[in-house]
């Protein structure tokens, strides 16, 4: 349809993005050098011709106006109609159909793929048209964002000719938000959607989020936890959810809901939720019709069933396919889909059974159902067979379903990868999964990305789901640099062939500008970060050696053993690793197509980085690298912690080039991460040392010449206690202060005079904010409050924290004292001091004393 007028006010976008507002994320639209974008012979358009009037095209128009105004300082006039168009330099925006209707000569025979776009610059006599052409309305919006990205990157538009379409129709995020406003595995504040049991009154953050999603081509968002609360399907809640959907709609994002399979019983009042019972089938149909009556562009439902205690069809002897199809048939007339999660497993496995294996569950539960799912059902499969560990192989289920739509589930929220306190750019990890060649077909490529985009088996209804869990935090995900993961998820879903380096460089440029130093430092910090994190956490595919049955954050090496959850690494005094071979193990490897199974089955060809996922080996087993397994564990943990520390210096080199607030937000986290990496290093290295009895060739493990244990200091008020798990405190012990007036721990410095860095290792519990003061000869040289909100109220691997005071002048015989003042339920717990020669070039002043 040709647009006559209908120009929506610019306000909507302006409200979302205020200058220098972190909420703008990568849509900062900083000024660019117009000469790069419009080189000699070209000029910046001054007029925009909007050929369509839909809500989504209006969003495209607003975005283009905003972006050009901020980046090129050009306020675009919107032409009232195509007929009245006088200007020579025009930005033309519309769908293929609208453009062909406006100027038939511009029609290109080959149609764009669904949701795709074409950007081109056409010169016709005196007229120059910069054309944003979409296959449909979403394509127009995606084209607008793509053009703005090119401008932000200062690319020349002189020969503009770009044609793109997304790799797959499903490009969704899942948000694990609960109606009470909490977010399961969310690390960035409370829900932007819900509060106190219902949709929030203030939903102002939602437009900003939808805009970010659309800017990278995400077209769906499931707003509630897969551990779903059935009451969200009640009429009054659906009406409220419709408010959210109306905002999403303007950015082409379809809202969807996670559902609880027992809803027909729990909120519907039926006596059963057997998916095949006629009254249950009727209930779902009616409910889905009701949803569409209030949310006309509803995307569909996500189902977690028979998993981690959730109700499911197995209760009635029904299969996931039978359950999924009931929903699929109710959704079909409306164009909705079912995402049925392949994350179905028994969490009461017998850990003593050497053949039991959680990794087998996805394939075992779904493989036989291949071909039994309706065509609007998509099986949503986590990228690895366990649960978002720091390293896993691609799930064999990807190749196990050949007649079923599949979506890969990637986790943007860093549940097992540092919870947005540690910098971990996840795109390289996702790329490894997506690039894994399943060797499932001799004729067609069968990388995981080929399978989920339908190229291998022709099942083209699936795609990509990213568990985002953004929150009310200004930076959406907590860590400002973690936004590269949300950005990267969208870009990969659009085009999984993009490289990790390309994606991060785009993100850096859009977020921080085109300064080469900024790009090079941030890109390389991000690109190295996953490897660094893996080095100091979970080695060789053993999994993240964290507190598996709890919060999944700090080290907790034994927690995965001797329970039914099946995240075992099976480390004992003789060796480590899960034997998943066909020959002697759980048989998991046999779930892969033969060629890939052969590679994993043989120790000769199994890649080192997956060794302990696939095999159980003795500690002196030699890797392809030539190192023994145990020495590799020691070396990588030391290397990883050192590399984490080096990230701090890299970031500091950008001090003058990053907006101040963001600079300090990141710096604080990197410093914390460097300290926590030492906690990880020591916990893992010392646990394996103790368990294996094998010494570190480089004599680092369990040897800390610069350390002064708190329990060995002269204590006033402080009392020694044992810490559990033992490996999360130096020597397994710390001291706590029970006296309200404060306690102190002192030591006489016995080393040569010089400049030193003093690291104070303590525990920062969630339920208190103790004060610490560091004194030298009675003069306070630093003081701080342990007021971080780490995810535990105990002394353990989650709360172990380090505060470093750099550049302290110490003389032999000085008295070093830590004074701890408890607050709340936190007894100012202290673990040790570590005093190392300082690299700092300037001394600290006695800040506190001088005040
Ligand atoms: C939403 C893991 C997480 C759970 C999560 C589950 C899932 O087990 O720890 O919090 O539940 O995966 O993906 O369903």
Three-class SS of 173-187: EECCECCCCCECCCC
Query: Distance between CA atoms of 352 and 603, rounded to whole angstroms?
Result: 24
Pick from 177, 183, 185, 310 the residue to mutate for probing ligand 1's pocket: most ligand atoms within 8 Å of its CB: 185
The token pair at 356 is 């039991």
Q: Is the bond leading into 62 cis (omega within 30 degrees of zero)? A: no
Q: Taking a C-beta distance cutoff of 8 angstroms, is the pair 26, 510 a contact?
A: yes
On the question of pLDDT at 483 being above 90, the answer is yes
On the question of pLDDT at 558 being above 60, the answer is yes
Sequence-ordered list of residues with C-beta below 8 angstroms from that of 703, at least 6 positions apart, any chain: none
Q: How confident is the model at residue 339 (pLDDT cuts 50, 70, 90)?
A: very high
pTM of the model: 0.96
Mean pLDDT, residues 730-746 taken together: 94
Q: Is the CB of 233 under 6 A from ligand 1?
A: no
E-strand ranges in 606-657 read 617-618
Query: Distance between CA atoms of 105 and 87, rounded to whole angstroms?
Result: 19
Using alpha carbons only, what angle is made at residue 85 by residues 81 and 87, rounded to the nearest 5 degrees? 145
Q: Is the CB of 830 under 6 A from ligand 1?
A: no
Residue labelled with tokens 């106190």: 196
Rounded alpha-carbon distances, angstroms, from residue 378 to 67, 196, 365, 452, 621: 37, 32, 15, 10, 42
Backbone angles phi, psi at 756, to 5 degrees: -135, 155
Q: Is the CB of 565 under 6 A from ligand 1?
A: no
Q: How confident is the model at residue 739 (pLDDT cuts 50, 70, 90)?
A: confident
Q: Taking a C-beta distance cutoff of 8 angstroms, is the pair 578, 570 a contact?
A: yes
On the question of pLDDT at 850 being above 80, the answer is no
Angle between helices 660-692 and 516-536 (to 10 degrees): 20
| DSSP string over 416-455 | TTTTTTS----HHHHHHHHH-B----SSS--BHHHHHTTT
Query: Distance between CA atoms of 808 and 811, rounded to whole angstroms?
Result: 10
Query: Distance between CA atoms of 373 and 350, rounded to whole angstroms?
Result: 31
Query: Distance between CA atoms of 87 and 48, rounded to whole angstroms?
Result: 9
Q: What pLDDT shows up at residue 840?
A: 64
Q: Is 35 helix (H, G, I), strand (E, B) or coil?
A: helix
Largest CA distance in the chain: 89
- Cα–ligand 1 centroid distance for 257 (angstroms): 16
Residue labelled with tokens 């057997």: 274
294 burial via Cβ count (<10 Å: 0-12, 13-18, 19+): middle
Q: How confident is the model at residue 14 (pLDDT cuts 50, 70, 90)?
A: very low
E-strand ranges in 468-598 read 575-576
Q: What pLDDT shows up at residue 334?
A: 98
Is residue 83 among the annotated active site residues?
no
Q: Taking a C-beta distance cutoff of 8 angstroms, is the pair 819, 773 a contact?
A: yes
Q: Is the CB of 347 under 6 A from ligand 1?
A: no
Report the candidate in 140, 118, 174 with the shortest Cα–Cα distance to residue 49.
140
Element (H, E) at 837: strand 830-837
Q: How confident is the model at residue 843 (pLDDT cuts 50, 70, 90)?
A: low
Pairing of strands 463-467, 170-174: parallel
On the question of pLDDT at 779 being above 70, the answer is yes
The token pair at 551 is 């919060």
User: Residues 86-142: pLDDT tens digits?
Assistant: 888 999 999 999 999 999 999 999 999 999 999 999 998 899 999 999 999 999 999
Q: What pLDDT shows up at residue 441?
A: 86
Q: What pLDDT shows up at residue 847?
A: 36
Query: Distance between CA atoms of 200 and 176, rounded to whole angstroms?
Result: 16
- Cα–ligand 1 centroid distance for 415 (angstroms): 9
Query: Distance between CA atoms of 245 and 255, rounded to whole angstroms?
Result: 6
- Cα–ligand 1 centroid distance for 819 (angstroms): 41
User: Residues 378-408: pLDDT tens digits?
Assistant: 999 999 999 999 999 999 999 999 999 999 9
User: Residues 454-464: pLDDT tens digits?
Assistant: 999 999 999 99
Is residue 308 among the annotated active site residues?
yes
Q: Taking a C-beta distance cutoff of 8 angstroms, is the pair 90, 82 a contact?
A: no
Output the residue whose Cα is nearest ligand 1's atom 11. Answer: 227
Query: Distance between CA atoms of 228 and 31, rounded to whole angstroms?
Result: 44
The token pair at 169 is 């129709």
How crowded is residue 441: how many other Cβ atoms within 10 Å of its Cβ?
16
- Cα–ligand 1 centroid distance for 335 (angstroms): 28
The percentage of residues in the chain with a pLDDT greater than 70, rounded to a whole number, is 96
Is residue 14 among the annotated active site residues?
no
Output the residue whose Cα is nearest ligand 1's atom 12. Answer: 387
Q: Please give the number of the atom of ligand 1 that sits closest to the Cα of 185.
A: 10
Pairing of strands 170-174, 220-222: parallel
Output the residue whose Cα is nearest ligand 1's atom 13. Answer: 343
Mean pLDDT, residues 584-590 taken together: 98
Residue labelled with tokens 């986290």: 669
The token pair at 619 is 């500690």
Backbone angles phi, psi at 405, to 5 degrees: -70, 140
User: Residues 267-292: pLDDT tens digits?
Assistant: 999 999 999 999 999 999 999 999 99
Query: Distance between CA atoms of 446 and 448, rounded to whole angstroms?
Result: 6
List the end-to-end C-alpha distance of the chain, in Å, as a whole number.
70
- Cα–ligand 1 centroid distance for 224 (angstroms): 13
Angle between helices 500-512 and 483-494 (to 10 degrees): 130
Q: Taking a C-beta distance cutoff of 8 angstroms, is the pair 623, 617 a contact?
A: no
Query: Distance between CA atoms of 69 and 776, rounded to whole angstroms?
Result: 56
The token pair at 781 is 């040289």
Which residue among 96, 177, 415, 534 is the active-site one?
Answer: 415
Mean pLDDT, residues 686-703 taken together: 98
Mean pLDDT, residues 3-17 taken together: 36
Query: Distance between CA atoms of 381 and 379, rounded to whole angstroms?
Result: 6
How crowded is residue 648: how many other Cβ atoms within 10 Å of its Cβ?
17
Q: Is the CB of 176 under 6 A from ligand 1?
A: yes
Q: Is the CB of 305 under 6 A from ligand 1?
A: no
- Mean pLDDT (the chain) is 95
Pick from 226, 260, 303, 308 the residue to mutate for probing ligand 1's pocket: most ligand atoms within 8 Å of its CB: 308
Query: Distance between CA atoms of 484 and 430, rounded to whole angstroms?
Result: 13
Mean pLDDT, residues 342-364 taken together: 97
User: Residues 491-543: pLDDT tens digits?
Assistant: 999 999 999 999 999 999 999 999 999 999 999 999 999 999 999 999 999 99
Rounded alpha-carbon distances, angstroms, from residue 67 to 1, 19, 28, 71, 206: 25, 12, 9, 6, 20
The percentage of residues in the chain with a pLDDT greater than 90, rounded to a whole number, is 93
Q: Taking a C-beta distance cutoff of 8 angstroms, is the pair 718, 743 a contact?
A: yes
- Cα–ligand 1 centroid distance for 343 (angstroms): 9
Element (H, E) at 222: strand 220-222
How distant is the alpha carbon of residue 488 from its chain centre?
9
Q: Taking a C-beta distance cutoff of 8 angstroms, is the pair 130, 157 a contact?
A: yes
On the question of pLDDT at 9 being above 60, the answer is no
Q: What pLDDT shows up at residue 183?
A: 98
| DSSP string over 286-322 | HHHHHHHHH-TT--EEEE--SSTT---GGGGT--HHH
Query: Distance between CA atoms of 174 and 723, rounded to whole angstroms?
Result: 37
Q: Is the CB of 343 under 6 A from ligand 1?
A: yes
Which residue among 62, 229, 274, 387 is the active-site one?
Answer: 387
Query: Distance between CA atoms of 64 and 260, rounded to whole angstroms?
Result: 41
- Cα–ligand 1 centroid distance for 789 (angstroms): 22
Sequence-ordered list of residues with C-beta below 8 angstroms from that of 128, at least 6 positions apart, any chain: 42, 43, 45, 88, 89, 90, 121, 122
Give 548's Cβ-side CA count (13 Å radius): 25
Query: Distance between CA atoms of 693 and 278, rounded to whole angstroms?
Result: 63
Angle between helices 483-494 and 204-215 (to 10 degrees): 50
Q: Taking a C-beta distance cutoff of 8 angstroms, is the pair 662, 538 a contact?
A: no
Q: How confident is the model at residue 20 (pLDDT cuts 50, 70, 90)?
A: low
Rounded alpha-carbon distances, angstroms, from residue 661 to 16, 215, 419: 19, 24, 21
Q: What pLDDT shows up at residue 442?
A: 86
Using alpha carbons only, what angle is made at residue 572 by residues 567 and 575, rounded to the nearest 5 degrees? 95
Q: What is the DSSP letter of 193?
A: S
The token pair at 69 is 């105004």
Mean pLDDT, residues 75-84 taken together: 83
Element (H, E) at 770: strand 770-776
């Amino acid at each position: 349809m040709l647009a006559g007028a209908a120009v929506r006010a610019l306000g909507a976008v302006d409200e979302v993005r205020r200058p220098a507002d972190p909420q703008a994320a990568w849509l900062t639209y900083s000024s660019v050098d117009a000469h790069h974008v419009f080189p000699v012979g070209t000029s910046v358009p001054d007029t925009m011709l909007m050929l369509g009037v839909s809500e989504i095209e209006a969003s495209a128009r607003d975005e283009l106006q905003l972006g050009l105004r901020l980046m090129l300082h050009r306020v675009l006039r919107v032409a009232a109609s195509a007929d009245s168009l006088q200007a020579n330099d025009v930005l033309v925006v519309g769908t293929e159909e609208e453009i062909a209707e406006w100027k038939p000569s511009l029609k290109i025979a080959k149609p764009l793929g669904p949701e795709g776009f074409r950007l081109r610059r056409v010169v016709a006599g005196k007229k120059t048209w910069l054309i944003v052409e979409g296959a449909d309305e979403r394509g127009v919006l995606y084209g607008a964002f793509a053009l703005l990205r090119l401008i932000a990157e200062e690319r020349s538009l002189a020969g503009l000719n770009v044609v793109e379409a997304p790799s797959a129709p499903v490009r969704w995020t899942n948000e694990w938000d609960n109606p009470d406003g909490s977010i399961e595995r969310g690390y960035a504040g409370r829900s932007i959607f819900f509060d106190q049991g219902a949709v929030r009154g203030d939903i102002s953050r939602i437009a900003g989020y939808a805009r970010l999603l659309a800017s990278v081509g995400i077209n769906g968002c499931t707003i509630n936890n897969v551990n779903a609360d059935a009451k969200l399907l009640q009429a009054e809640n659906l009406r409220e959810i419709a408010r959210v959907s109306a905002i999403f709609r303007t950015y082409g994002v379809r809202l969807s809901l996670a559902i609880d399979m027992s809803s027909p019983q729990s909120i519907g009042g039926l006596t059963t939720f057997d998916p095949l019972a006629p009254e249950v089938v009727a209930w779902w149909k009616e409910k889905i019709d009701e949803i569409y009556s209030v949310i006309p562009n509803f995307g569909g439902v996500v189902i977690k069933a028979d998993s981690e205690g959730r109700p499911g069809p197995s209760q009635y002897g029904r299969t996931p396919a039978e359950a999924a199809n009931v929903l699929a048939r109710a959704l079909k007339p409306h164009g909705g889909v079912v995402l049925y999660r392949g994350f179905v497993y028994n969490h009461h496995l017998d850990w003593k059974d050497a053949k039991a294996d959680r990794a087998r569950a996805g394939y075992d539960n779904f493989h036989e159902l291949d071909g039994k799912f309706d065509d609007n059902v998509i099986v949503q499969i986590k990228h690895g067979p366990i649960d978002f560990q720091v390293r896993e192989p691609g799930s064999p289920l990807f190749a196990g379903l050949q007649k079923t739509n599949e979506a890969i589930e990637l986790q943007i929220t860093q549940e097992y990868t540092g919870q947005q306190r540690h910098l971990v750019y996840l795109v390289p990890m996702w790329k490894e999964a997506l690039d894994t060649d399943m060797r499932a077909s001799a004729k067609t490529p069968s990388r995981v990305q080929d399978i989920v985009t339908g190229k291998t088996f022709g099942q083209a209804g699936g795609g990509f789901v990213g568990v985002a869990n953004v929150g009310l935090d200004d930076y959406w995900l907590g860590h400002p640099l973690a936004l590269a993961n949300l950005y990267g998820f969208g870009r990969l879903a659009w085009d999984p062939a993009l490289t990790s380096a390309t994606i991060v460089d785009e993100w850096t440029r859009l977020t921080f500008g085109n300064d080469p130093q900024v790009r090079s430092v941030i890109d390389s910090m991000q690109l190295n970060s996953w490897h660094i994190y893996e080095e100091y956490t979970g080695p060789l595919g053993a999994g993240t050696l964290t507190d598996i049955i709890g919060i999944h954050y700090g080290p907790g090496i034994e927690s995965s053993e001797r329970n039914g959850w099946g995240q075992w690494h099976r480390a004992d005094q003789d060796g480590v690793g899960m034997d998943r071979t066909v020959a002697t193990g759980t048989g998991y490897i046999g779930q892969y197509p033969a060629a890939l199974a052969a590679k994993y089955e043989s120790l000769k060809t199994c890649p080192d980085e997956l060794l302990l996922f696939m095999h159980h080996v003795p500690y002196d087993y030699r890797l392809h690298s030539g190192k023994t397994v145990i020495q590799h564990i020691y070396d990588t943990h030391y290397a990883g912690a050192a590399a984490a520390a080096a990230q701090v210096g890299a970031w500091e080199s950008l001090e003058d080039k990053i907006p101040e607030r963001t600079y300090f937000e990141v710096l604080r986290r990197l410093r914390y991460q460097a300290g926590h990496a030492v906690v990880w290093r020591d916990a893992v290295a010392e646990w394996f040392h103790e368990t294996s009895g094998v010494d570190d060739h480089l004599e680092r493990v369990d040897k800390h010449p610069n350390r002064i244990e708190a329990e060995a200091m002269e204590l006033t008020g402080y009392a020694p206690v044992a810490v559990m798990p033992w490996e999360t405190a130096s020597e397994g012990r710390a001291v706590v202060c029970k006296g309200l007036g404060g306690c102190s721990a002192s030591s006489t410095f016995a080393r040569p005079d010089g400049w030193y860095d003093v690291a104070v290792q303590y525990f920062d519990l969630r339920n208190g904010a103790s004060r610490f003061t560091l004194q030298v000869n009675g003069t306070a040289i630093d003081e701080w409050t342990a007021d971080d909100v780490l995810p535990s109220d105990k002394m353990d691997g989650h709360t172990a924290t380090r505060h470093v005071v750099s550049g302290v002048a110490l003389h032999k015989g000085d008295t070093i004292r830590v004074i701890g003042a408890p607050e709340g339920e936190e007894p100012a717990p202290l673990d040790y001091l570590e005093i190392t020669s300082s690299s700092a070039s300037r001394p600290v002043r006695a800040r506190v004393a001088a005040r």
